[in-house]
Amino acid sequence: MTRHVQRMIFQGSILPRGALFGGFLSRGAGRKRARVDRVPQQSDVPCACGSGRTYQHCCMPVHLGSRVPPEADELLRARYSAFAYRLPAFIMRTTSKTNPDYTDDWNRWEADILEFCDTYRFPGMEILDEKRASPDVCFIQFRANLIYEGMLGFFIERSRFAKERGRWMYASGKLVEAEMPPR
């Protein structure tokens, strides 16, 4: 079993190590699945990140690579919406190679991410705290809401983002609190 799929028991639920933006993934890696994203087709749909802007004017340019997030919180929002829209390549390429959950087995990693995306729905996230440790390191604590079989759950993670070659990357995350529906 790879590091990013190892799990811990937390409040009666099985939660993988690393929380959402590193290794918060579920079972089922390796299953064949259709490669279908859930990207909104209408331009007036609110972005899943909760910014209040439409996807077209929020995370879409970041997902497409036409805009680089100038701040860590924008990368955090783009990563959350990438889970909501089933965009594993974006999640993988914005994870630092120094992250303990990073793996060179991109096929398995992609399958894990897609399984997670298919297991949960993503009704929104909220940034709770942000602290800049240096110009190139930022800590963000956020609450990610998830729905499993109609039941709302959440987790709070403290993430570390670091600039690598001038771009923000997800470096690590620590689970602070979680209340997840039983699976």
Split at pLDDT 50, 70, 90, the class of 182 is confident
Give the pLDDT of residue 43. 76
19 pLDDT more than 50 = no
Contact 159, 142 (CB under 8 A): yes
Q: Which residue has the tokens 């590091």?
A: 3
Q: What is the pLDDT of residues 94-115, one digit of tens each?
A: 999 999 989 999 999 999 999 9
Contact 76, 127 (CB under 8 A): yes
37 pLDDT more than 80 = no
59 pLDDT more than 70 = yes
50 pLDDT more than 50 = yes
pTM of the model: 0.81
- DSSP assignment of 57-102 equals GTTHHHHHTSS--SSHHHHHHHHHHHHHTT-HHHHHHTB-TTSTT-
Split at pLDDT 50, 70, 90, the class of 17 is very low
What is the Cα gyration radius of the chain?
15
- Domains, the chain, ranges and CATH? 3-31+41-179 (3.10.450.50)
Q: What is the pLDDT of residues 127-181, one digit of tens each?
A: 999 999 999 999 999 999 999 999 999 999 999 999 999 999 999 999 999 998 7
Section 7-19 average pLDDT:
34
Give the pLDDT of residue 11. 35
Lowest mean per-residue pLDDT among 65-69, 125-129, 178-182 = 178-182
